[in-house]
Amino acid sequence: MQKVIYKDLGSIEYAEAWGLQQTLLSKAVELKRGNRKLKEANEPLLDPIHNLIFCTHPHVYTLGKSGSIDNLLLDEKQLEAKNATFFKINRGGDITYHGPGQVVGYPIFDMDCFFNDVHRYVRNLEEIIIRTLADYEVKAQREDGYTGVWLPANKFMRKRKICAIGVHLSRWVTMHGFAFNVNTDLSYFKNIVPCGIDDPDKDVTSLKRELGREIDMKKIKERLKFHFSDVFEFEFE
């Protein structure tokens, strides 16, 4: 069974976390190259390194490589006034928001040790969030044609996205991941077209909004960790 190193970085600037992801990904790729040479020389292989990072970010908007800058509805001065930053990055997907009250998860996994299927990988991330929400008696689902995790419409509310997912893989090592709205200030989503979805029948939500109370962040991270190890079938070091 694979072993995963868990790190909770707390609140960290987006650029710093991005740099850490890139460093860990480079180390994982380098280890894979080294193991290839060891295998050719019939030498014992080194154990792969997998990391799972949880953190939160100060207010920041990030735009994926397939997204449109038009979906950011603020100019530079307006960003500054809202104490927010902006980054164009190499994950899939369009624009999203990160900020206090979110759990942002960055798995740096060597998928050669699990399975080589990007679609399945994204579905697994969604499954972890769906199971975590079920622990809070919130029914969540996937939405055809979209990534992420959604809550179904009812007579009072539209379909609501509660977790955005965007990933990048290099030599089957993952980076980026998910942004799960737990106690998030949803007003910041009004400054973008979230995930590029301009649909009057869809909205953004948080677990706090759905349950009408503040959520214990430590407890929800423990549930996420449990479901990660269960869905991907690994153990934490």
| Distances in whole angstroms, Cα of residue 83 to Cα of each of 47, 69, 86, 112, 162 | 42, 19, 11, 40, 23
**Residue 178 and residue 62 in contact, taking contact as beta carbons nearer than 8 Å:** no
- Exposed/middle/buried for 8, CB within 10 Å: 0-12, 13-18, 19+? middle
SS3 sequence of 26-56: HHHHHHHHHHHHHHHCCCCCCCCCEEEEEEE
Q: Report which of 57, 237, 211, 221 is spatially closest to residue 136, judged by C-alpha positions.
A: 211
Q: Is 113 annotated as catalytic?
A: no
Q: Which tokens sit at 104?
A: 């942002």
Distance CA 222, CA 34 (A): 34
Catalytically annotated residue among 55, 113, 163, 195: 195
Distance CA 148, CA 144 (A): 10
Catalytic residues: 195
